[in-house]
Structure 1
């Protein structure tokens, strides 16, 4: 070993490297299990969207719980009908979590480098979805 060289850093134990992604996965699974058991279509279990209550307009998240309930029960068409961007988010989470888990197991951090163009595109897509679902011809997007 040269006098100026640094020793290789030791990797943390496997369980410590994967603790955060596994913990987040457990929380998300618990939330999906709860929504799967407690039907959001039945009144009284969840609060009404404040925007919908005040204005009668659907926000981009309206129907997300019903979508999650349908998704948990394997009804992909109903999940898409209730809130398609939410289903895309579920699938996106699964892909990102898997990449995070693999990288954490290898002792490497997860890096997500989204530029302004990608963030603007996502924002515009959600805005268009919100506007269209609140127009008369967008009734098919109502939750």
Structure 2
């Protein structure tokens, strides 16, 4: 194998890694910003539009405070703010890691994130979570 071929493969790998590394950089920037700018203090972030209009919690309510707690290495508080967001993080890390490995190996990108049945199950879980966190017996899920 010639040096030019090796250099082309290395350049191609770096180009393929730019997207997942960009996502990691953007995610790190969000975690750093939310870790510094406390969402528990009023006036830093806008109110959730769904909460503001209806008075009910959406599935994402409490996620900024969850990120802030995780940025400060406080998983117990993070779970209290939005347990679904905390439970989703390992799956997101897995998919991101799989993306990095495929890019490094030069394998083509997958056009599907997961089997459609898993995606529909996740959507159903979000809907159930949305309803239950707004019912009296699900108050422990509210931020």
Deviation for aligned residue 1:123: 1.1
Aligned residue runs from structure 1 range 76-87, under 5 A: 76-87=75-86
Aligned to 1:96: 95
Aligned to 2:140: 140
Is the alpha carbon distance of 1:133 and 1:54 closer, same or farther for their aligned partners in structure 2, counting shifts above 3 Å? Answer: same
Could you tell me the TM-score, scaled by structure 1's length? 0.87
Aligned to 2:3: none
Which one has a larger percent helix, Structure 1 or Structure 2? 2
Deviation for aligned residue 1:97: 1.1
> After superposition, what is the alpha-carbon deviation per residue over 1:19-66, rounded to whole angstroms, capped at 9, x for unaligned?
111111101100111011111111000000011001100000000000
Could you tell me the TM-score, scaled by structure 2's length? 0.87
Aligned to 1:109: 108
Deviation for aligned residue 1:12: 5.8
Stretches of structure 2 that go unaligned for 5 or more consecutive residues are 1-7
> After superposition, what is the alpha-carbon deviation per residue over 1:70-109, rounded to whole angstroms, capped at 9, x for unaligned?
1111111111111111112222221111111111111113
| Bigger Rg, which one | 1
Equivalents in 1 of 2:18, 2:116: separation in Å?
Answer: 31
Deviation for aligned residue 1:113: 5.1
Equivalents in 2 of 1:140, 1:83: separation in Å?
Answer: 10
Is the alpha carbon distance of 1:21 and 1:116 closer, same or farther for their aligned partners in structure 2, counting shifts above 3 Å? Answer: closer
CA RMSD of aligned residues (A): 1.5
Stretches of structure 1 that go unaligned for 5 or more consecutive residues are 1-9
